[in-house]
Each structure stands twice: as C-alpha cells, then as structure tokens.
Copies of this chain bind each other. A is one copy, B any other.
C-alpha cells in the first residue's frame, strides 16, 4: 500500500503532489476525529481536491484511512543499520512504541475496529509488506553470524512486536513497563544459542 505513495507514471509531478496531499489530509482528519467521523468529503475539502478523485483512487473511506495510516507509519519507522542486531531491534521497537503513543499512532490503533473482508485483506497485505521490508536487518545479521540462516525472521519479529499490541489493544497495560531490553535478549538467546 505504501508503494502507492509515489505514482508510477509521473514521480514528483502533480499527481504525486495530490496523492501526498490527500494522504496527509486523511491522516490529519483521522488524528483529529477518529474513524467513526472520518469522511471522504472532509478529506477532499481539507486537501482541496474533488471527492470523485479520491473515490476513483481509493474506492472507500476504509481503504483511504488504512493507506493514510500505513503511509505515515512507514515514515515514522526507519530501517536501522547499526551493525549489531540487538541495537537494530531496539531501534525498531522504540520507534514503534513512540509512534503508537502519538495521536497518529492512536488513530492507527483505532483501525482495529475495521474488520470486514476487504479490510482484512488490506491489513494482511500491509503487514506482509512491512515485515518483509525489515528483512535486510536480518540478512545483515546472518552474515555477521548473529542470526541463524534457517530461522524465520518474520516469526521472530511477530513474537517481538506482538506484546506491544497485546498491551495496547487487549490487556490495556502500559507498553512502557514492558521489559523490552530483557525480552530482546531472551528472544535472541532462543533463536541463536
């Protein structure tokens, strides 16, 4: 989804600028008033474009809300390359915790309510893409002998990141009290030794 951020035909052109403006306006609307009051009419007014252009590209307010959220998540979470796997993982997790604590992060969490078939498909595609973008972190770690070549980095990442979402969405405990440093050490030990 985030790859839609730069249209294929005219990168940097008018279409790209409008696309960015719509995503930014959509995210601002989401952060301001949440998904329940999120409307394509409001986004169109804020971005200064026609509603029909938005419908043509995104099809529904659900798809627009998801794309806008994910687009800004990609901006907020860089792919680290510190030379040490543990440090890379700590950076990823700290960025995620920081992001989810902001109004924008809260707007993203609220997308959990959207559970129809189409949204499920979009979310699945998004997370596969997000996780696979972090593969270089593990490819470099494998070369340095820090991660086994035959283990699945995606399963590892899911195990690492899931408790954060569990606390924010299910058990309502503070992510700040999660023993992150200790957990990264334990998981590395589980996979490496």
Contact = CB atoms under 8 A, between A and B. Distances in A.
A114 to B, nearest CB: 10
A120 B165 contact: no
Interface stretch (A43-51, A53-61, A137-145, A168-176): A168-176
A171 B124 contact: yes
A34 to B, nearest CB: 10
A113 B109 CA distance: 10
Interface residues of A, number: 31
Contacts of A123: 170-172
A161 B162 CA distance: 9
Contacts of A193: 189, 193
Nearest to A122: B172
Nearest to A189: B190
A162 B166 contact: yes
A89 to B, nearest CB: 14
Interface of A: 112-113, 120-121, 123-124, 127, 152, 155, 158-159, 161-163, 165-167, 169-173, 178-179, 183, 186-187, 189-191, 193
22 contacts: A112-B113, A112-B169, A123-B170, A123-B171, A123-B172, A124-B171, A124-B172, A127-B171, A152-B179, A155-B183, A159-B162, A159-B183, A161-B166, A162-B163, A162-B165, A165-B165, A165-B169, A166-B166, A169-B169, A186-B191, A187-B190, A189-B193
